[in-house]
Amino acid sequence: MSIPASGALHRLLAPLIDVGTFDFWVQQISPRAAWNRPLATVTARRLEARDTVTLTLALNRHCKLPQAGQHLNVSVEVDGRRTTRCYSPTRIDARHRTIEITVKHVPNGWVSTQLCHHTQAGDVIELGEPFGEMNGADAPGPWLMLAAGSGITPLISLIRQARERQASNPITLVYCAKKRADLCFLPELRQMVARQPGFALHVVLSQEPDLIDGEMAGRLDGVILNAVIPDLAGYHVFACGPAGFVETARTAVGERARSFEAEAFTPPTLALNADEAVHPVHITLAQSGRTVTVSSQEALLPALEAHGLQIPHGCRMGVCHTCSCNKVSGTTRDLQNGQAQGEPQAAVRLCVSSASTDLILDL
């Protein structure tokens, strides 16, 4: 539902509208209608693999369509609290403005439990802006895709896009999981192997007792990589999975490939500074005038949350920029690379930054 019809009318009415009240009443008629919020209606759900569900989402006009290989924040209500996590669309249908996300249930996880076990067709969820740089558009030549677990999601989207565009570059997918039952999209991938010249699939299983169809046992390492592709020269490599998997892939590939692009779905170990003594720092929150005290060794996002602040966030690992806020003054440290940032009026990602000195934040 398009509300209101024209951009000019939208701008004219904006100062007169109470957005919350407008959204409440208009959603009585159409659940994904909203003044300006990017909302999506769940139109279908299906089991994709063990503990893994694919949801089809119909986007309202405020949602920006992602590119293959990108991610977006998904917000749902869990126990009355709006909670946000990142997911990577597995299918993007620009013509019908629908996307699919494929969610693996994490035991005791807030959002994956909600999406896998409770979300039904007709439910409405909020989406963030797409983000992420991993797109294969500028990568002619052979592709090697390395996926572990849920890391298959942005890669299947790139593979599907390449197939739709009838791209001729050979694609080799090495797909790692614990057991065969955990593998997503397996019938489709096997069909591609059978029908698409140049597409190869290698399955690596770490906990499957009985291997079939050329499956390999173990975890990705240099030996498996060399067995699959002995000479990586000319290859564009895409790797996606938990942080440890991405690091193993990076080491195994080394400098041998033409390019290496990777996304980790779990945070890397943050670099606490052994040389810097732990000390309390005062954070002044400019918008409320409140001051809280945190440890200089703690990431600012959890430290401020522990004081009861509700700060918008998504990935909690420095990739989506949802937690960015303006630092008015003071010095922070980037926990990913250890670098100090003392510039005033600079954007700071709270999930991967700690405070080295007292700070004033525009919060």
300 binds ligand FES (CB under 6 A): no
Please answer whether residues 128 and 154 qualify as being in contact, where contact means their C-beta atoms are separated by less than 8 angstroms: no
Give strand pairing partners of 329. Answer: 360
Task: Check if the beta carbon of residue 38 is closer than 8 Å to that of residue 59.
Answer: yes
Which phi and psi (to 5°) does residue 26 adopt?
-70, -25
Between 185 and 265, whose beta carbon lies closer to ligand FAD?
A: 265
Residue in the structure block whose two tokens are 């790139």 = 158
Under 8 Å between Cβ of 318 and 301: no
Q: Which one of residues 45, 62, 71, 333 is an interface residue with ligand FAD (CB under 6 A)?
A: 71
Q: By C-beta, is 160 or 316 nearer to ligand FES?
A: 316
Asked if residue 352 binds ligand FAD (CB under 6 A), the reply is no
Q: Per-residue string for binding with ligand FES, 317-336, x by CB under 6 A?
A: -xxxxxx-------------
Q: Which does 263 bind (CB under 5 to 8 A by kind): ligand FES, ligand FAD, none?
A: ligand FAD
List, as one string, the DSSP characters of 139-198: --S-EEEEEEGGGHHHHHHHHHHHHHTT--S-EEEEEEESSGGG-SSHHHHHHHHHHSTT
Q: How far is the CB of 212 from ligand FAD (least distance, A)?
A: 26
In angstroms, what is the minimal distance from the CB of 228 to ligand FAD? 24
Cα separation, 242 vs 206, in Å, equals 15
Which of 42, 281, 300, 319 is the binder for ligand FAD (CB under 6 A)? 319
Q: How far is the CB of 150 from ligand FAD (least distance, A)?
A: 4
Near ligand FAD by CB under 6 A: residue from 148, 315, 325, 355? 315
Question: Cβ atoms within 10 A of the Cβ of 164, count?
Answer: 10
Q: Which of 62, 71, 313, 333 binds ligand FES (CB under 6 A)?
A: 313
Which of ligand FES, ligand FAD, none has residue 106 at its interface (CB below 5 to 8 Å by kind)? Answer: ligand FAD
d(CA 362, CA 280): 20
> Which of the residues 336 through 355 are near ligand FES (CB under 6 A)?
349, 351
- Binding flag, residue 354, ligand FAD (CB under 6 A): no
The dihedral sign for the CA sequence 202, 204, 205, 209: positive
Q: Which of residues 145-164 bind ligand FAD (CB under 6 A)?
A: 150, 153
Strands 290-295, 280-285: parallel, antiparallel or unpaired by DSSP?
A: antiparallel
Q: ω into residue 230 within 30 of 0, thus cis? A: no
Q: Contact between 177 and ligand FAD (CB under 6 A)?
A: no
Task: Identify which of residues 202 and 349 has a Cβ nearer to ligand FES in the complex.
Answer: 349
Candidate residues 32, 104, 160, 333; the one interacting with ligand FAD per rule CB under 6 A? 104
| Residues at the interface with ligand FES (CB under 6 A) | 313-316, 318-323, 349, 351
